[in-house]
Amino acid sequence: MTACPSALPSEFQDCSVMADYIHLRDLNAPALKKFDERALKIFQLEGGNTWIDAVSSSQDGCSKSVADNTPEMKNGWLCNHTHTIQHRDDLIMLRNHPQVAFFIRFTRNSNSRLSPSRDLFDGLMETFSINPRFQEFVMSFGLKFQEHDFAPPSLRFRNLLSASTQDHSKQGFECAYGLRYVADNGNLDGKERWSVRQFAVYQRVDPAINQSIWIFVGISKTSGPEQHVLDFLSRSSGITTRTHPFCLHLALIAASLSEWRWYIDDLTERVQSQSDRITLADVAKDKIDGRPDFNINFSDRQRLKNLEDSILNLQIMLGSTISTASSLIRHLSSLCEQPLDSTESILLNGFVETRDETNLFLTKAKILHQRVRGASSLLSGLLDYENAYSLRILAEESRQDNIAMRALTEKATKDSGAIKIITIITVFFLPATVVSSFFSTQFVSISTHDLVISSKWWIYFAVTGPLTILTLLVWYVTSSSRFHNAALYRLRKSGLIRNLIIKTPRKDPEQAEGISYPSTHSFGSSNFESQIQPSEAAHAELLGTPYSRKGVSNG
């Protein structure tokens, strides 16, 4: 690490003071204010089964694991075997080990809580002086129903210097970053084939105490990243002979990129299939022989929207990986004060290759996004055209209906004209019909020389007059809405029309508030006519359509 710049204020000339200041700033970072609130969903609850897997390497290169806190195991370690840490005291035993790797697991799946409790995690942070900003990456994990955070925080890198010396040859560092990757779940029961996953990495290299600390969050057992970690730990021995720490960073980034190519290919195939379906759709035309007869609708737009969201999330994740790789390249270069040796040159070349590969994936994703947007635009245009075509068909059908109605109207007009003529003829002959009917009765007799009218002739008019008045009265009553309402109510109350869907008052309409029927049942009463609705209400009631009458509640 280079000496502190002379341009800094005098109170920051001492690098140890500057380191304390940076640590205090990291501790009070605004991004960590939500950590306590999120911790209830991130970690296992107290009292449950909480643990952290740990693997330790000794000076002879044998990979040793932390055993349970038992007296016989405190000074001896089992090689190539992983044990769990469940208490803070187990962490204290590892403070002087040259290299320790901690694995924080998921309890069930990638959307579940992490295995340690909040107290055990805090003990890990305090025991090994982990940078507080590592909590930013841990906040991306925890209990959730759906993944929304597709971009982890940017890589955090801090140079370390021994607090007791200003010897720059004993330069150390710590870094933390997160990576997103996809896993192929296979086509199981029609579920989504791919799932987005993540893991976070923390590394602390302190040459002053010959120690290297690793923390891995969210790496599942027997996965590719964990195999790289275990292989790296088995190859590392002492701090002077161990493998360059950036080798593992390169391996982890390469492992996170291993499935992106096939995921992009799958997305491309799905986009192409959907695009072909839309492009070859037979819109508003008769089917042509040899041409597929597709039926596109709004569900196609929904599928394109889901594909577009997946591609946008892909761009975010690839951009985050590019940022992480670029930061590691920059910091690896800054750590090399002397000309790069072969190992560091190989590492830098490897990081550049991974960054270029990720850039290529990102370019593919951007092109794929443009194709999806083009297909969405075409689909929107086709749906609009299909709607316009449907409206045109409806307009044509409406025009045909209008023509038919016009023909029917003309025919009805002609029929009404004929009926009018018949009515006029009937009216013209009505007096003669009445007179002839009267003279054909027994009240009138015609002799050879004289016309004799019976003295009882008035009986004819006495019977005909009331019958005519009664006929007119019956016609008037049966055509009124009051008669319809009362008759329907009576029929329903008597149970004769139980299945008729009709909305009637819950009480007798004759007793309803605001309606009074004359005791004489005179249907021509003006008081009754003022209380009922027009005849449209009766028709609506016959059709089962609810309606309301003034002063009567609908039951």
* pLDDT tens string 36-50: 889 999 999 887 789
Residue with structure tokens 């009265």? 473
Mean pLDDT of 249-267: 94
In sequence order, what DSSP letters do the residues of 452-481 get, joined into one string? EE-TTTHHHHHHHHHHHHHHHHHHHHHTSH
Per-residue confidence (pLDDT) for residue 6, from 0 to 100: 40
Contact at 8 Å (CB) between 140 and 176? no
CB-neighbour burial class of residue 286 (10 A; exposed 0-12, middle 13-18, buried 19+): exposed
Range with the poorest average pLDDT among 66-75, 217-226, 327-336, 382-391 = 66-75
Mean pLDDT estimate for the chain: 77
Confidence band for 353, pLDDT divided at 50, 70 and 90? very high
Widest CA span of the chain, in angstroms? 163
Where helices occur in 164-297 by DSSP H, the ranges are 224-235, 246-256, 260-279
* pLDDT tens string 170-198: 578 999 999 999 998 887 676 788 999 99
Q: How many CB atoms lie within 10 A of CB 499?
A: 4
* Closest-CA residue to 93 (of 59, 130, 123): 123
Per-residue confidence (pLDDT) for residue 497, from 0 to 100: 64
Cα–Cα distances in angstroms (integers) from residue 348 to residues 89, 287, 341, in the given order = 40, 60, 11
Confidence band for 309, pLDDT divided at 50, 70 and 90? very high
* pLDDT tens string 100-134: 999 999 998 888 999 999 999 999 999 999 999 99
- pTM of the full structure: 0.66
* Six-digit token string for 345: 């040159």
Confidence band for 30, pLDDT divided at 50, 70 and 90? confident
* pLDDT tens string 196-218: 999 999 999 988 888 899 999 99
- How far out from the chain centre does Cα 119 lie? 35
Q: Does residue 58 have a pLDDT over 80?
A: no
Q: Does residue 5 have a pLDDT over 80?
A: no
Per-residue confidence (pLDDT) for residue 325, from 0 to 100: 94
What is the percent of the chain with per-residue pLDDT over 90, rounded to a whole number? 32
Per-residue confidence (pLDDT) for residue 519, from 0 to 100: 43
* Six-digit token string for 61: 């290169």
Contact at 8 Å (CB) between 282 and 292? yes
* pLDDT tens string 404-459: 999 999 888 888 888 888 888 888 888 788 777 877 777 777 777 777 777 778 88
Type of residue found at 525: S
Q: Does residue 552 have a pLDDT over 70?
A: no
Q: Does residue 157 have a pLDDT over 90?
A: yes
CB-neighbour burial class of residue 73 (10 A; exposed 0-12, middle 13-18, buried 19+): middle
Per-residue confidence (pLDDT) for residue 223, from 0 to 100: 80
* pLDDT tens string 456-488: 788 878 888 888 888 888 888 877 777 778 888
Mean pLDDT of 319-326: 94
Q: Long-range pairs for 165-169 at CB < 8 Å and ≥24 separation? A: 165/208, 166/15, 168/1, 168/2, 168/3
User: Can you give the C-alpha Rg of the chain in angstroms?
Assistant: 47
Q: How many CB atoms lie within 10 A of CB 104?
A: 24
In sequence order, what DSSP letters do the residues of 440-457 get, joined into one string? TSTTEEE-SS-EEE-TTT
